[in-house]
Amino acid sequence: MKKLSILALSAMLLVGCQSSPSTEADTSPLKIGVLTPLSGNAAMYGEETQKILNETLQKINAEGGYNDQDVELIYEDGKCSGTDAVTAYQKLMDIDQVDFIMPWCSNESLAVAPLATEYQMLSVTGASSTPNLEGQSPFLYSFCYSDKDISNQLISQLKTYEKVAVISEQNEYNLGIQQAIESDLADQIVISETFEKTTTDFRNIIEKVLKTQPDAIMLNPFPGPTATALGKQLNENLDALTNIQLVSQIAYLTDDSRTEFPEVAEGMIIVDAPVVQSSAGQEFIAQVKANQGEIPMLEGYLTLSLHDALYNLVAAANAVGKDSVKARDYLVSNKAKGLAVEGQKFEGKNFIQGFEAGVFKIQDAKAVAQD
């Protein structure tokens, strides 16, 4: 009897080994890891990212998820730090055993790019925008605009001024913008100052900049506490700034980011993501706010690019399965679907193509889109 059982077991194993996996439906859930800052100065962005992705996930699962099963999201704190992102990425792969990974900020994406290549782990971001992502990995793609698009529009705004000063924070996002501006407007830059993210007192930098008598100042802090401190201390120099045009990026786009220095912010030109014009996009933003809570820092284009990154990643899995190579090939060879990137393609790049930056001006304490 024992011999018969062993023979029967061997036969069953043999039949199992000979079965074609392509004929068997994948019954395991699709698990996607999300790297986003959940602590530190950028934690507000991680919290809002969770709200946006959770709302997107509810929509995806209501439409059938993956193979009629709910898709799962597993969040890890990347802290917008390369070192922390690598640790979190490895945990998502080794312990959580996710199928795909979504990094958030540029520092995280750049740090994990070598791991994405080494382990052939398809990684898709809806928020990383540094141009340095281009060519970093054949398994890392961004549904966000590139900072090159933002930099080109900032240069367009600044090139009309004879003397331009630049104040930049020292991190991947801000230094990329700074380098692009300095390269293109080298003859017009009268001073360029950088500061560390822990800086709280900008008075010496502001004094040095004002001594050069610039026609325009490019304010290039990372959104959050440093941007607020810089704005407040600029507000102490209103008279000296009367005839100087202030230009900036996302750091001062939301109305909440300027409440402590409304006087100096009035008239500021801000260049950021493309303006959301579609009714479907506006409707989704309203749904996130109603169901998940307010998203003041990411409301607008990034709400939709995060939605589209997750939506297209799941669509690729439904089309070809969880294999990262097949999912990657599907993603880059088909037109994207979604609320921000409908019909756009990667066209051989790591960034999806077809963006045009938005230009805003602060008028009566509101960021008003310009034609």
CATH code for the domain in which residue 231 is found: 3.40.50.2300
98 lies in the same domain as 162: no
Which ranges of the chain would DSSP assign to H, the alpha helix?
2-18, 43-62, 82-94, 106-118, 147-158, 172-184, 203-211, 225-234, 262-265, 279-291, 301-320, 324-333
Helix (H, G, I), strand (E, B) or coil at 100: strand
227 lies in the same domain as 260: yes
Q: In the structure, what pLDDT confidence band is assigned to residue 8 with cuts at 50, 70 and 90? A: very low
65 lies in the same domain as 154: no
pLDDT, one tens digit per residue, over 266-311 is 999 999 888 777 899 999 999 999 999 999 889 989 999 999 999 9
Inform me whether the pLDDT recorded for 259 exceeds 80: yes
For 86-107, what is the mean pLDDT? 96
Please report whether residue 355 resides in a domain: no
60 lies in the same domain as 161: no
DSSP state of 70: -
> Which of left, alpha, beta for 32 (phi over 0: left; psi -120 to 50: alpha)?
beta
Interstrand relation of 358-363 and 189-195 (parallel, antiparallel or unpaired): unpaired
Please report whether residue 138 resides in a domain: yes
pLDDT at position 193: 98
pLDDT at position 189: 98
Please report whether residue 168 resides in a domain: yes
Inform me whether the pLDDT recorded for 57 exceeds 70: yes
153 lies in the same domain as 267: yes
For 337-341, what is the mean pLDDT? 94
Q: Residue 140 sits in which domain range?
A: 31-145+277-333
Inform me whether the pLDDT recorded for 64 exceeds 80: yes
172 lies in the same domain as 128: no
121 lies in the same domain as 234: no
Please report whether residue 370 resides in a domain: no
Inform me whether the pLDDT recorded for 23 exceeds 60: no
Please report whether residue 303 resides in a domain: yes
126 lies in the same domain as 187: no
Nearest 10 degrees: CA dihedral of 338, 339, 340, 344?
Answer: 30
Number of domains in the chain: 2
Looking at 25-29, 79-83, 89-93, 342-346, which range is the least confident one?
25-29
Please report whether residue 120 resides in a domain: yes
Please report whether residue 354 resides in a domain: no
Please report whether residue 100 resides in a domain: yes
For 202-216, what is the mean pLDDT? 98
132 lies in the same domain as 169: no
pLDDT at position 278: 86
pLDDT, one tens digit per residue, over 183-192 is 999 999 999 9
296 lies in the same domain as 310: yes
- Would you tell me how many other CB atoms lie within 10 Å of the CB of residue 136? 17
82 lies in the same domain as 163: no
205 lies in the same domain as 126: no
